[in-house]
Each structure stands twice: as C-alpha cells, then as structure tokens.
A and B are shown apart, each in its own frame.
Chain A
Amino acid sequence: MSVLKSSPIYDLRDTGLTDSALDRFLTETWKTPSGLYGWLATVDHKIIGRRYIITAFFFFILAGLSAAAMRLQLAVPDNKLIGPDLYNQLFTMHGTTMMFLFAVPIMEAFAVYLVPLMIGTRNIAFPRLNAFSYWVYLLGGLMIWIAFALNSGADAGWFSYVPLAGPEYGIGKRSDFWAQMITFTEVAGLAVAVEIIATVFKQRAPGMTLDRIPIFVWSMLIMAFVVLFAMPAVMMASTMLILDRLVGTQFFNPAEGGDALLWQHLFWFFGHPEVYIIFIPATGFVSAILPTFVRRPMFGHLAIVMSLISIGILSFGLWVHHMFATGLPQMGESFFTASSMMIAIPSGLQIFCWIATIWAGRPIFKTPFLFVLGFIVTFVIGGLTGVMVASVPLDLQVHDTYFVVAHFHYVLVGGAVFPLLGAVHYWYPKVTGRMMSETMGRWTFGLVFIGFNATFFPMHLLGLRGMPRRIYTYPAASEWGTTNLLVSAASLLIIAGLVIFFFNIVLSLFRGESAGSNPWNAPTLEWAMQSPPPPYNFLRIPAVSHREPLWFDGSVLNVVCGLRVDTRELLTSTVADAVPELREPSVRNSIWPFLSALAVGAAFLASIFTPWAVVWGGVPIAIGLIGWFWPKGDPEDKE
C-alpha cells in the first residue's frame, strides 16, 4: 500500500490569483537572489544561457585575435614577426577555440536560453546539470587559454593528429591540455544535449504537438541528438590520446599493434557531425528569423523538418571524406563521395524553401534579415566547393591547401556565424529589453559580408596555386604575396564590422530604444512575455493550437492554470501530442553544481600530471554530487 496517500499537502495555486498577485508570488519563488551566492547558485536557464553566450563570445574574440595575428604574419612573404612554434600554437588555438569553445557552446547557449521560452515552460529540464555544464565549460576554456599564456598552448592543429600529438612528437603538456579541454567541453556539451532532449520531449506547452513545434526548436532537438551520438567519439579518442601520452597505452603506436589512422577515424566520426552540430542550429535561426521579416509562415515546414532530420542522420556517414589522402580503399572512398554529395539534397531543399518563403512574402530589410540573405549566398558558395572537394581526385589536389581553408570558412562563417549575428540582432531585444541600433547593424552586416568574401574568396585561388595551409611563412618567389596582402587587408574589414557589433551590443544596453514584448511582431511564444522575461517566464502556462501562436491564436493568449506558485512547479506533457501529464517540480538554486564543477575541474586538470588524480579526485566529486542530489526538505520533495 502506498505510504503517501495520507500525507496532507497544503499549497498555493495560480488558480484565481490576479495577475499582479501571481507575478509577486512567482517572482519570489523563481528569482535568483542578488549577491555572490545567488550568482554562483542560480539555475535560471536565462541567466545561464546569457552567461554561456557572453563567455562563448569572449572565446570568439580570443580566437579572432589569433586569426588576426596569423594574418599579420602572412601579409608579406618571409615575414619574421611570428616564429613557427608560436604560429603552430596560434592556428591550433584558433581552430580549437572556434570549434569547441565558441561554435558548439554558443549554439547550445541559444537553445538553453530560447527553447524553454519557445515551448512555453518555466525552466530547462535538469537546471542544476545546466549550471554545472556552464562551469565545467568555463573551466575547460580557461585552462587551455591559461596554458597558452604559459607557452603550453596546444600546437598540433584543432584535430590533433597522431603521431604529431602523440607521446613521441607532442612535446611537454601541450597536447594533454588539448585532450583534457576536450573532456571538459564535451561533458558540458553532452549535458546540455540531454537537457534539450528532455525539455523538448516533455515540457512543451499543452497543444504543442510534434507538428506545431517551431523549426528553431526542431533544429536544436536534432542538434542535441547529433551531439549525443557524435561527441562520445571525440571523448573516446582524446581519452586514448591522453592515455597513450600519460600511462603508455599503445592505441596509436603502430610498432605495438596500434594504428595512427584509428585516431582519424574516431576524430572525424565526431568531427564531421560537428559541422552539422554547428550548422543545423544556424538553419534554425534562419527559419525563425525569416517568417518574421517576410510576414508569412515558412514555406515547406514539414519538408524543412524532414531535411533537418535527414541531415542529422546523413552527417554520420561522411567522416571518411576528411581522409581521402590517407590511401584508403577506393571502393570505400567512392561510398563517402556519394554520401557527401547526398547530404547536399536535404541542404538544397531547405535553401529552396527559404527562397520560396521570401518569394511569397513581403520582406522587411532589417539587420537580422540582411544576415539571413548573406547566409544564403555565402552558404551556397561554400556548399558548392563542398561538393567539389567531396570528389576524390579534386580533393587530392587541394588537400591541405588554402582551398580547403576557404571552403570550410565559407561553410562555417557563412553557414553559422552570419545566422548567429542575425540571431543576436533578432533576440537581443528579448534578452535585454532594448533594441540594437539598426544603423550600426547595417554597418556590421556590410563590413562583415564584404570583408568576409574579400578575405576568404581569394584563398580558393591561393589554394589552387598551391599554397599549403598551416605554414608560418612563404618565400617571395611563390608569388602568393599580393593575394595574401589583399586577404590580410580585407580581414581588417571583418574586424571593423565586429568592433561595431560589440560596440552596438554594449551601447544599446544603455541607449537602445525600449523593445516592448514583441518589437518585430514575431509569431512564436518567446515574444509573448515582457522583455527581458521575468524569472518565471510565463505568468500562466500557455496552451497553443497553431504553429505560429502569436499570429494565428488571436490577440488573446490561451493559458492553463492549476500550478503551484509557492514552490517551483512546471508542466510536463506527453511526447507526441503534448497532452498535460504531470505538475513537475523544478529544482531550486543550489551552490552544489558549482562546487561539483570545481571538483571535476580539479580532477581533470590534475590528471594531466598524475593518473592517480582520477582516484583521489573521485572523493570531492562524490561529495559534490551527494550534496547536489540529497533532498533539502523543499516542499516539492514531500510529494
């Protein structure tokens, strides 16, 4: 017999409360206390998402400065400004930071901030795991950059190939810091992926059936699944690498039965989906921004969702196209050529849907929309060179040249950073309550778009003329000097555009126009509450009956009631039809995720120097986790 039936429960519900009383109760229940403790203990997805975004942009600036230093060095032939050792560290830190500390975290960060708002819930699933993930990510990023400042920066490239990164050639602790940074960031990335999946599956507002989930949320969900199945590969690989380096395992040593190509297989099994982990959310930004600025719903909603799912699945079948120059069997290479070309189909389908949406709409040319247009143009060029390098004979010619550098910057900057910059301009009013300057936004777009193309398009030509990537200088006789000077000069335009962008962000915080709840007249739920959103997100949980609830559900928002307001409670629903199922408690703020992250960070860091750190480090980690999960007698624990 149940022991619970007899326990009386006294609680306070939102039913019958006036809006102002409800706001007072909910604010008290969901708020983050001020002061240092509140800052460290908060589990509010908006605060953590914002933190993630700011931190990722901080790393973006560091990685950008590394790129600027490289362009300075390459501006003229035979330049003595930067030596080969520092140059190796610079390109490794640039790539590593952009991929692991900027691109993936910032995409997940947007999901952390926006997904709960878009699906109509009060916090992300597993809010403490969310807080923990941020601290682990921050510690990992700081660790590798502090190591760089101490001349121990990773120097074997962002994909850290063995044997260069292995025990024989990887000097000092440089590659160890790289490998452990992977552990930090992947732990964080995987944790957020789990949260996104559980949030989207279980916490959608009543009525938000699978068919009514916004494309942005679909994109984040699919990204989370790709993370789930791709990131274990790089964790496994980096663990093997650090074991080879620290305790003498032989995974990558051919003399003792190991194999160097094993690294490449494991790395690229992650590394190729990684591109889509970055790209899929970016297409989500595009599909969120577009309808708002062309004043009509997306054309081909279902086709786009299906394309995203196909891209997510196909992304796991492409990894060998990064290894065409390693002498693999031709039959295998042909398969990966075919699969690489196949992924162009769903990508192309999405592009046609976007074009059709613009075609049938009434475009308003504001900054976010300009970035979407810039994205479409640039990504098509990057996609086309992608189809080119998917072909083995062409790839063999341009492998490890600037052609490849040009290609993947078109895909990653054009395909992800442009939509991201558009997304910042689009959601900034929601996050801060103020508008960004449209004039500065247009300058940012113009400078970044022209600067980007002038910087990276000539790199195709440099590559075709034989300039290898990752060289710290080149002789004057190569005749690459003029083009390189042009490239370096053009990169100043990108920097200028980004300086204006950051200036705009800071200045608008103080001087931006007041945004109101829905400055763009956008259709999705995040625009239903005031800007910035209150700690509890929604006064009452919305109930939706349309994909674009704010456009088609009329001027009145349908809501449900019955939730507690004296403790944190949210609504969970069925996976497919979003039928309300539970009044699920949501955890309070806690310092333990922060303390646990410190313990985990200390153990990871110490394990670079002694394998015993894993054993001794387990004790504080266990204490941290017990403190985290042990109930504190909160009202919701009594149910």
Chain B
Amino acid sequence: MKQRTIADLSNLPTYGFGAQSPMWWGTLAFISLEATGFALAVGTYFYLEFVASGWPIAAPAPDLGAGTLVLILLVASVLPNHLTDRWAKNQELRKTRLGLLLMSIFGLLPLIIRIWEFRALHVSWDQNAYGSILWLLLGLHTFHLLTDLGDTLVLTALMFTRHGRSGRRFSDVSDNAFYWDFVVASWVVLYLVIYIFPRWSA
C-alpha cells in the first residue's frame, strides 16, 4: 500500500509520568486485580462471620499493639512516598535517592513488626476458619509488603548506578510510589477488618 506522511513526531519525548506512561496503566491494572483479590478475601471474612454462631470463633480479638504500629508507620510513610514521587517527577537525582532510601526503611520496618502481629492474632491458621482467614488476610498483605520492598530496594540500588541517570528510571520511581499508596490504603481497610471489627461486633 502506498503511504503518505502526514506528520513528523520526532520531537515527542521518550518518557512520561503518570497517565502518560503505559507502565502507569499497567500498575493501575495490577492494583485493580490485586484490590479485587483483597476485596474477595475481605468478603470471605464477612461470609464466614455471617455463617458463624459467634465471632471471633474460639479466640479473643487480636491485640492492637503491633497492628496499630504498622498502621502508624504505613500512614506516616505516605509523606516521604509523595515527596519521593515529586522529586522523581522533577528528576532531582540526589533527592530521589534519599527518598528511595527512606522508603526502603519504611518498607522494612512494618515487615519486622509484622512478626509480632502474627503472634498477636491469638489463633492459628489451622484452628478454625476464623484463624484461616485472618492468616490469609495478613499473609496477603505481607506478600505485598515484601514484593514492594523488593522492588524498592532494587530500584534504590539502580538509582545509585549509572542507570539512574535516565528519565525512564524516574518514571519507574514514580510508579513505585503509586503502588506503595495502594499497599498503604489496603492496610487501612485490612486493619479495620482484622482489629476493629471483632471488637465492634462484640
């Protein structure tokens, strides 16, 4: 087929941020499917609560301490996360590196505290269905914390190499920050389900 050139797009940029970048849409799609997974797990929790004669089943409500500490840490991390996002969008390499280091720490701390969270549930995964869904919810979120921490650590290392001097890497940092918001938001919901609901329903 004959071709007729109607526009020269040589001057278009080669990377963009947010909705300009296909990776942002990919991240949003992954967030959507993972949020669906969380929603279904939470739905399962309430389904089991609905069919149970009492809730929680054969266990006291989980202790608040460790879970609340994780909540505080995660909510507090929103600030450095958004600063990192802004620095990345401004393509400020030193500040972005600093932000990523901070976010690595904010990723690591909740994971350490989580060890005590599992202990504070007062129920084992194989004791009854309440225990099973609690461990599943916490396990799911821990998996998200772990994978995002892994991503952040690799990205941090990357930004300290020569590869960090690339616009695409800044865009990656921004998408990583976007995903972290999802990890935080999902914990706010799960915290209410795991810790507050049993007290409220009692």
Contacts and interface: CB of A to CB of B under 8 A. Distances in A.
B29 interface: yes
Nearest to B150: A622
A583 B150 contact: no
A266 B126 contact: no
A329 interface: no
A190 B33 contact: yes
A4 B22 contact: no
Contacts of A7: 165
Nearest to B146: A618
Interface in B1-29: 1-16, 19-22, 25-26, 29
**Is the contact region of chain A dominated by helix, strand, or loop, or is it mixed?**
mixed
A197 interface: yes
A13 B130 CA distance: 61
Interface in B46-84: 47-48, 51-52, 57
B9 A250 contact: no
Given A125-B26, A265-B47, 10 more contacts: A15-B10, A193-B29, A232-B34, A250-B131, A251-B133, A257-B52, A555-B2, A562-B10, A625-B150, A636-B14
A631 B169 CA distance: 10
B109 interface: no
Nearest to A560: B7
Contacts of B52: 257
Interface in A153-205: 190, 193-195, 197-199, 201-203
A559 B5 contact: yes
Interface stretch (A66-74, A131-139, A241-249, A438-446): A241-249
B158 A630 contact: yes
11 contacts: A194-B29, A229-B32, A232-B40, A240-B136, A251-B133, A257-B51, A259-B47, A562-B8, A580-B12, A626-B154, A631-B166
Interface string B98-136: 000000000000000000000000000111111111011
Contacts of A426: none
Interface residues of B, number: 61
A27 B57 CA distance: 64
Contacts of B22: 125-126, 198-199, 201-203, 572, 584
Nearest to B93: A3
Contact of A582 (B8, B15, B91, B131): B15
A604 B132 CA distance: 21
Contacts of B3: 19, 539-540, 556-559
A258 to B, nearest CB: 4
Contact of B4 (A240, A248, A557, A631): A557
A259 B129 contact: yes
Nearest to A269: B40
A183 to B, nearest CB: 12
A1 B92 contact: yes
**Is the contact region of chain B dominated by helix, strand, or loop, or is it mixed?**
helix
Contacts of B2: 555-557
Contact of B10 (A13, A584, A630): A13
B179 to A, nearest CB: 13
Contacts of A633: 163
A561 B8 contact: yes
B33 A259 contact: no
A228 B51 CA distance: 29
B30 interface: yes
A29 to B, nearest CB: 15
A633 B168 CA distance: 13
Q: Looking at B2, B40, B165, which has the most chain A CB atoms within 10 Å of its CB?
A: B40
Q: Looking at B14, B135, B168, which has the most chain A CB atoms within 10 Å of its CB?
A: B14
Interface string A197-225: 11101110010000000000000000000
B41 interface: yes
A195 B30 CA distance: 10
A99 interface: no
Interface string A290-309: 00000000000000000000
Contacts of A583: 9, 12-14
A206 B51 CA distance: 54
A236 B92 contact: no
B141 to A, nearest CB: 14
Contact of A256 (B14, B30, B129): B129
Contact of B129 (A250, A558, A581): A250
B198 interface: no
